[in-house]
Amino acid sequence: MESVRGIAAELHDRDLPSPVVPSLWWFELTRPALILGSTQSDSVVDHESCRQGGVDVVRRHSGGGAVLLVPGDVTWFDIIIPRSHPQWDDDVSRAAWWVGEAVERALGDETLTVHRGPMISSAWSATVCFAGLGPGEVTRGGAKVLGLSQRRTRDLIRYQCALYRRWDPVLLAGLLAPGGPSAADLEDVVGVAELDLDALVRSLGKQ
């Protein structure tokens, strides 16, 4: 396990381990950032509002919608496994289940559910990550608690994971371009949770 502090652009662009070994990167963000999916158009962003609010606009290497990361409001970590890892699965959907299961155990909340079905889209899921639901993600009463994405190569999978300690739909809606979702549209898409690092490490150790 490695704890890393920095800005979102640096953390997303960290060099992957070589040789590839199972790794857990626990990130501490120093500046707020709006993270776009790898193929997402930056036309969804109100760049002037981001500039005025001191919010970096960063593109990650995995797909999906935008994620707002604010220091202190979000728990962000990456898990990296090599092809030789017992949890490796060539099935992209099934490959994420074990991550959700580990987070579910670490949170110890019986109301949580790991999504093992296909991708579920909504009116705003192409714009905002937490407005949709993918395999391995965790929900509580329909609200997403764990959001995750995968970056895959021939030799490794990098899972990027986020949980909100606090959720501010007004802030996110104000950073998106006109025509995007309102704060009311986003109010109920997130379920907040406090994930303890030690509990996550213990849960991953059971894999």
20-56: pLDDT as tens digits:
999 999 999 999 999 999 999 999 999 999 999 999 9
Q: In whole angstroms, what separates CA 156 from the centre of its chain?
A: 18
pLDDT (average), residues 89-104: 97
For CA atoms 130, 134, 136, 139, give the dihedral sign.
positive
pLDDT (average), residues 191-207: 92
pLDDT over threshold 90, residue 130: yes
pLDDT band at 116 (very low <50, low <70, confident <90, very high): very high
pLDDT band at 207 (very low <50, low <70, confident <90, very high): low
Domain 2-204: which CATH number of 3.90.1150.10, 3.40.50.720, 3.40.190.10, 3.30.930.10: 3.30.930.10
Exposure pattern of 79-92 as b/e (b: 16+ CB <10 Å)?
A: bbbeeebebeeeee
Q: pTM of the full predicted structure?
A: 0.94
